[in-house]
A and B are shown apart, each in its own frame.
Chain A
Amino acid sequence: MRERMQRFVLAIGCLLSLLVPALAQSGSTTTIPGQIPSIHFVSPVPDGEWTLPAGDYANTRFSPLDQINTKNVSSLKIIGTMSTGIPHGHEGQPLVVNGTLYVVTPFPNDLIALDLSKPGFPMKWKYEPRPDPKAQGVACCDTVNRGASYGDGKIVYATLDNHIVAVDANTGKEVWRTLVGDIDIGETTTGAPLIVKNVVITGDSGGEMGVRGKVVGLDLKTGRVLWTAYSTGPDKDVLIGPDFKAFYKKDQGKDLGVSSWPTDAWKIGGGPVWGWISYDPETDLVFYGTGNPGPWNPDMRPGDNKWTITIFARKPETGEAKWAVQLVPHDAWDYDEIMENIAVDMNWHGQMRKLLIHPGRTGYVFVLDRETGEILSAEKFQPVNWSKGYDLKTGLPDVDPAKVTHTGVNARQVCPSSTGGKEFVPSALSPRTGFLYIPAHNTCMDHESIQANYIAGTPFLGSSTTMYRGPGGYQGELLAWDVANAKPVWGIKETDFPVYSGVLATGGDLVFYGTMDGWFRAVDARSGTVLWQTKLASGIVGDPITFKGPDGRQYVAIYAGIGGWMGAAALPSISIDDPYAALGITGAMKKIKQVTGPGDLLYVFGL
């Protein structure tokens, strides 16, 4: 009898232990305590797990978790660490699903699963996709990867050599793999896919290699390619059809992806999609921005060069374009606008509107109407002199011709540099403050164009560029930006380096981010006061996330591993005495080797 009782208790215990993690972690919520009434979040935010690159569809990088808050963050400490063994740029962020934390490493793009239910978070398994080592030679900016998405029991991500892989989240076994690009013509894949309604949406990299930018939609079940939407070429390739409606006249017309280029130049014209993809369930639209046109030398491609540096809205199932707005026609600065597009409803000049917020490399925060693509506001958030501002009637920038490079003409003191007023590293939006927290850069450049030769699989640049710190005695800033009033609120400046990590905002009114010299910080979201910081083993170029463990406690995770484009200056394979090295960033990164070195670590913090 007693034995039977014991067995019964044991069984109940087992059941409970299965249930508790599920309950403790839950997934996401639309209830955000303390949110200001003029903001409405359009997709659930993560309050336990972290299943998508930005945590949610809308790319807010906000979590309502508040166990760690302004009052107790000073006692935050390391709970777990893990070394990936790969001393290159650790961009992107881990995922947390069902009591397991998933890390995608830089090349060779291993997927590592850690068991969050056990002390020290031991490894459950490691999946090794073994991409082609030759891919490393065509990756422009270190051999990085920006993370995975979870859907239907699978972790889905890209390898550097253009395989999209789906891995069983429980067993670590490969479910499918699909090749979507070719390294021999300079294509790589570094961005994180977004999964929307059984479609895996992912873009390519290689704007410096003469690729033809594109986004691909794959069937989550089988990996079959459902649609491909190119960034250049005829409308049928760009998936511009009868439902397409551009707001501005400049973006209206047939086959602009061909006619805005010299003959056939669109075939090697760039416009890759290596940044963040977002989705709005209310309008059922996917949003992303395209990268720079190739080559960098603008004289070699007269015309608007559509659809490079363009924000697209597309239907997830078919890829059909709904609208597009080109932010920079005929780019002369390498201003990829692949940054996050945050979908949120907000009170805008007295009226609730469906907004898309895009803090860009151009140095402007763009606020768009996400139903139409109309630019409602474009305000500078860092020193900008390539243009005076945007004409919201035409959607065109007022460009300063003195800041446009030509063949043999060195445009000096152009701000921002190619690396932008901010890079791809994503900002966060808190509905409790209405502030956008931007990881900003203040770097300027001398930019000279030279003749570029197209040789497949090699750089297609035509540029000789050097960069340096911008005006004001600082080069980086975590900036709190009041979206509704389009103005800065507070900033934390970095003297020598740009801020090159993503940002996380939480319900505890904390903002987490890291610096290139390795400080990981928690800041008061309202005042900008640094409440806690700790020095990690390497510079930070990854994005912080937060989650609730199977024990019901809140944790914060971040990678420390310097690398990427500007961070590559810290790697031993780059010599600082050539200011033209690594596409011109070394001049702006002169001190990096003195303050940090390559690293390969995951850190998990808790109270």
Chain B
Amino acid sequence: MRRRMKTCITFLGLLLLSCAVACNEQQTHAAASGAPPAIGIPVGPVPGPKVALNLPANPYANDQVALTEGRRLFVWYNCSGCHGGHGGGGMGPSLRDPVWVYGSSDAHIFASIAEGRGMGMPAWGTKVPEDQIWKLVAYIKSMRTPQEPDPPIVAQEPQVKRPGP
């Protein structure tokens, strides 16, 4: 019994020691580079004290020409086939609504397009140039705003003539 206890304590000690070494190593590393640890574009919450994320901004935000180009690319790359002709959803979720599972910032939407998502969103980063992805982001963010190019028109139900025999 006592022996088992001893083993256990030794094991715990080793564990603590290795942890201390690891933590120390990380500290040293961060201090050496002089920069906060790279965290990319996090989708989940970032634990610990608040850290400024410094996410990249969209170079085409509010650029009406880029929005129109983004609209064209949205159809061209078949985004419209999955997310709806004007982003209302279908095989993929609506982009018009306020729900953003993977983050709503320009950078997050960029990452969703470039890296893909596990429910079936393809990773377009190797297929679509970066500037085109930013234009797509600009178009998507414009949906339901006065800036949206080619917005969907919800027509009144037409009076369909009864087809002849």
Chain A residues within 8 Å of B, Cβ to Cβ = 133-141, 208, 383-385, 412-413, 415, 444, 450, 452-453, 455, 457-461, 464-466, 468-472, 568, 572-584, 586-587
Contacts and interface: CB of A to CB of B under 8 A. Distances in A.
Contact of A581 (B85, B160, B161): B85
Interface residues of B, number: 40
A335 B34 CA distance: 63
B158 A578 contact: no
A575 B94 contact: yes
B121 A137 contact: yes
A471 B75 contact: no
B59 interface: no
B160 A415 contact: yes
18 contacts: A137-B92, A138-B120, A413-B160, A415-B160, A453-B76, A453-B77, A455-B127, A458-B81, A459-B78, A469-B157, A574-B89, A575-B84, A578-B84, A578-B89, A578-B152, A579-B88, A581-B86, A581-B88
Interface in B100-158: 118-122, 127, 144, 152-155, 157-158
A138 B91 contact: yes
Contact of B155 (A134, A383, A587): A587
B42 interface: no
Given A208-B81, A575-B96, A458 B122 contact: yes
A446 to B, nearest CB: 8
B85 A468 contact: no
Contact of B152 (A140, A385, A471, A577): A577
Contacts of A133: 118-120
B160 A468 contact: yes
A583 B54 CA distance: 38
B163 A415 contact: yes
A413 B155 contact: no
Nearest to A465: B85
B49 to A, nearest CB: 34
User: Most chain-A Cβ atoms within 10 A of its Cβ — which of B76, B85, B158?
Assistant: B85
Contact of B88 (A415, A453, A465, A582): A582
Nearest to B86: A578
Given A134-B120, A468-B157, 17 more contacts: A133-B119, A133-B120, A135-B120, A139-B91, A455-B77, A457-B122, A460-B78, A471-B162, A471-B163, A568-B90, A573-B99, A575-B88, A577-B144, A577-B152, A578-B87, A579-B88, A582-B90
A235 B93 CA distance: 40
Contacts, number: 141
Contacts of A461: 78, 81
Contact of B120 (A136, A459, A470, A579): A136
Nearest to B156: A468
Contact of B78 (A415, A458, A469, A581): A458
B77 A575 contact: no
A575 B89 contact: yes
B41 interface: no
A212 to B, nearest CB: 18
Given A458-B78, A458-B81, A444 B87 contact: no
Contact of A137 (B87, B91, B163): B91
Contacts of B164: 385
Nearest to B152: A578
B63 interface: no
Lowest 4 CB-CB distances: which A-B pairs, in order? A137-B120, A459-B81, A580-B85, A578-B88
A545 to B, nearest CB: 29
Contact of B154 (A459, A568, A572, A577): A577
A496 to B, nearest CB: 11
B85 A584 contact: yes
Interface string B67-82: 0000000011110111
B91 A587 contact: no
Nearest to A464: B85
Contacts of A471: 159-163
A578 B121 CA distance: 20
